[in-house]
Amino acid sequence: MTNVLALDSSSIVTTVAVLNEEKLLAEYIENNKQSHSEKMMVIIKQMLEDLELTVQDLDVIAVAKGPGSFTGIRIGMACAQGLAHALNKPMIGVNTLDGLAYNLMGNNDLICPVINAQRQELYTSLYCSNDAALERMWDYKLIKVDALVRELLNLNHKILILGDGVPIVKKALAEVPAENIVIASSVFAMPRASSIAAVALEEYAKGNAQDCFSIKPFYIRKSNAEEKRDGDHGAKS
């Protein structure tokens, strides 16, 4: 039996789960305020105690590697890498968009997770669920909300939207008729560590685990500080 510990702090949500091939053993979700650095290790410790497991009972550490909040991604990555290194356990990084899409696994409609990237932009991709497997149809991308709505309107298929970018998508949809674009229930909208764990378990079975130092964050866009630095350098040259 393979026990996966999964963490996701790539958004305002703090979520931790332990899952194996048989069942979801435990999951913690807090959708309140961003306090990942204060809570993550405390949650993990309490969850393992409640399950009567030790860290040695874990086989692989999984983490949402982004895109999302730059700070949240770094906290989750540091926590997961620290655990994996200390325990000498393999690690799997899961794209946050893949994890969100997995929330609607088994659905016959297209799935479009959207993460608010600020500036009226979204991190997104498009998925379909085939034979109990999730297939990504688009590359991961950063796109203006109006441009995304136009692309989705051109698809001759019902599309389910989920994620913390839903509010700005709703505003854009208020200005155009879009019968094929449906907002998924809020129950499925937030990141879930159980979905990160499920994706990671599939990757682990394929032999795709890595050592902790090989997993890198996936940001898509540079941080505000990096963009400012690059702009300042450009102005001086």
pLDDT of 237 strictly over 50: no
pLDDT of 32 strictly over 80: no
pLDDT of residue 173: 92
Domains present along the chain, CATH in parentheses: 4-96+191-227 (3.30.420.40), 104-188 (3.30.420.40)
pLDDT of 231 strictly over 70: no
What does the CA dihedral 145, 149, 152, 154 come to, rounded to 10 degrees? -130
Size (the chain), residues: 237
Please, which residues have CB within 8 angstroms of residue 167's CB and are 6 or more apart in sequence?
A: 116
| pLDDT tens figures, 61-77 | 999 999 999 999 999 99
pLDDT of residue 36: 64
Higher pLDDT, residue 32 or 87: 87
Q: Which of 32-36, 76-80, 153-157 has the lowest mean pLDDT?
A: 32-36
Q: What is the mean pLDDT of the chain?
A: 91
- What DSSP string runs through 48-93? HHHHT--GGG--EEEEE--SS-HHHHHHHHHHHHHHHHHHT--EEE
> Residue 221: helix, strand or coil by DSSP?
coil
State both tokens at 77. 């990555």
| pLDDT tens figures, 73-131 | 999 999 999 999 999 999 999 999 999 999 999 889 999 999 999 999 999 999 998 87
- Give dist(CA 191, CA 14) in Å, integer: 8
pLDDT of residue 176: 85
CB of 162 closer than 8 Å to CB of 113? yes
State both tokens at 138. 């688009």
3-state helix, strand, coil in the chain (%, to 5): 40, 25, 35
| pLDDT tens figures, 176-211 | 878 899 999 988 889 999 999 999 999 999 999 999
pTM metric for this prediction: 0.92
Helix 145-153 and helix 166-173: axis angle, to 10°?
A: 60
Higher pLDDT, residue 198 or 32: 198
182: Cα within 13 Å, side-chain hemisphere: 13
pLDDT band of residue 224 (cuts 50, 70, 90) is low
